[in-house]
Amino acid sequence: MKHLKPGKYKHYKGGEYEVISLARHSETMEVMAIYKPLYPLEEGELETWVRPVEMFYDEIELQGETVLRFTFMGD
């Protein structure tokens, strides 16, 4: 398993997020990242999100270039 460091990340679409903690899925034992957006939320939008850690390391094809889904920005 890759280690995901808590802190601020930039999504390839531009949004900034903070990884708060890691958790384990109770059925699959998959490690999940718990994170929150660092931008103003729309009314009714959830404040906390979860995504498999492996997805943080995904590479995305964007305008002919391969970029990381999330890039670490710091603590």
Ordered domains of the chain (ranges, CATH)? 7-74 (2.30.30.320)
Mean pLDDT rounded to a whole number for the chain: 91
How confident is residue 1, by pLDDT bands cut at 50, 70 and 90? low
| Statement: residue 10 has pLDDT above 90 | yes
Q: What per-residue confidence (pLDDT) applies to 12?
A: 94
- 3-class secondary-structure state, position 4: coil
How confident is residue 46, by pLDDT bands cut at 50, 70 and 90? confident
How confident is residue 67, by pLDDT bands cut at 50, 70 and 90? very high
- 3-class secondary-structure state, position 54: helix
pTM given for the model: 0.83
Cα angle 16-22-34, degrees, rounded to a multiple of 5: 40
